Amino acid sequence: MKKADVVKLLLGERADLPPRHCVGKAYAPSNIALCKYWGKRNVELNLPVTSSLSISLASHGASVQLSADDGAEDIICLNGKPLAPTEKFSLRLIDFLQLFRPAQSPRLRIDIETNIPIAAGLASSACGFASLVKALDALYGWELSLNELSILARIGSGSASRSLWHGFVEWHQGDRDDGMDSQAEWLPFEWPELRIGLCILSEQEKNIGSREAMQRTVLTSSLYSAWPSKVSQDMALLKQAIKDRDFTLLGCTAESNALTMHATMLGAWPPVYYALPETVRLMQQIWRCRNEGLPLYFTQDAGPNLKLLFLSRDQAAIEKQFPHIKVIAPFDAC
């Protein structure tokens, strides 16, 4: 099954209709996985080997405005700057938009505003594709549910399926070949004291994207076979931690999950290693603080940056130790 078949399955006859409005606008938060998505069972549709669980980053994300345009080409502007149609980012975006445009559809002007660095392991593609499918829904007037939009966002980028909501979100792996059951779901739990500290060590584009790294790990790492059972255990522990507001359980599980994911990458060939010397130094500082009694944990995605996990009561002490972090209160927007 191809991406276009999934679109047809979800939209039915709506897939052939032109935009209902002149402009479609939407915002989606970025998200950080506490239990990671690492490995696909279907590369074309971004169907994952396992489920995953994330926390959204409130006002850190992307806004997209799509406007019907009578020019000959699509125009893409990122944070106010026009992008060349030949850039990797533009090609990926246009490729995705093509899935939704019936013949004779107008060209589009696509304005994207984001307040997080692109491609540095801070889930820029997650909020990018999630806001894009929401803006498409607004432009075309499809009136899809958020769960259905999560399926469309997933075919753009797996982690985007979780960026349709604020708060905690679970992406169910599903087992159907067409992926209709591989969608995310909002988890009805709040934790206002939870804080995420972004430690940006490098804003440079990583030298291997998550898509390629994931596939290489699945195909070549002998450690990958241990990953699915680690995920089932961690999913259960994280849900328990969220329900009971047990921060130690949440932090230990998220940190161990991230480190295990990176261990599977080290077992790949050629090996995949996202950490910089600064990343390792920061991990050691976090472990030192924890040994001295500060309840502080981290998680790491496909990039060198770390995201700290802590509670509001320790914010002042943590900002003293890590003066450069950007603190996010994920439940402020809910």
Nearest of 174, 165, 228 to residue 47 by alpha carbon? 174
Q: Is 90 in the site for ligand PMV (CB under 6 A)?
A: no
Tell me phi and psi for residue 217, to 5 degrees.
-65, -45
Nearer to ligand PMV, 32 or 97 (CB): 32
Q: Say whether residue 52 binds ligand PMV (CB under 6 A).
A: yes
Q: According to CB under 6 A, which one of 108, 238, 302, 306 is a site residue for ligand PMV?
A: 302
Pairing, β 194-199 against β 75-78: unpaired
Stretch binding ligand PMV (CB under 6 A), from 32-40, 75-83, 107-115, 144-152: 32-40
CA-wise closest residue to 27 among 57, 71, 69, 68: 57
Site for ligand PMV in 139-178 (CB under 6 A): 157-159
Helical segments of 23-175, H only: 88-98, 124-140, 146-156
Identify the CA nearest to 134 among candidates 62, 83, 45. Answer: 62
Q: 211 vs 290, which CB is nearer to ligand PMV?
A: 211
Cα–Cα distance measured from residue 304 to residue 224, given in angstroms and rounded to the nearest whole number: 21
Report yes or no: 210 and 300 within 8 Å, Cβ to Cβ: no
Of the pair 157, 279, the CB lying nearest ligand PMV is at 157
Residue with smaller CB distance to ligand PMV, 101 or 154 = 154
The nearest distance, CB 134 to ligand PMV, in angstroms, is 17
**Two tokens at 7?**
């679109």
Minimum Å gap between C-beta 103 and ligand PMV is: 30
Determine, following the binding rule CB under 6 A, whether residue 125 of this chain makes contact with ligand PMV.
yes
From the list 33-41, 58-66, 144-152, 287-295, the region that binds ligand PMV by CB under 6 A is 33-41
Q: How far is the CB of 92 from ligand PMV (least distance, A)?
A: 11
Name the token pair of 66. Answer: 């799509």
The secondary structure of 284-296, three-state, reads HHHHHHHHCCCCC
Q: In whole angstroms, how close is the CB of 150 to ligand PMV at the nearest point? A: 13
Q: Is 297 in the site for ligand PMV (CB under 6 A)?
A: no
Rounded to whole angstroms, the Cα distance separating 255 from 201 reads 18
Smallest separation, CB 246 to ligand PMV (Å)? 22
Q: Does 301 bind ligand PMV (CB under 6 A)?
A: yes
Distance CA 264, CA 212 (A): 14
Cβ atoms within 10 Å, residue 183 = 23
211 contacts ligand PMV (rule: CB under 6 A): yes
Which spans of this chain sit near ligand PMV (rule: CB under 6 A)?
33, 36-37, 52, 125, 157-159, 210-211, 301-302
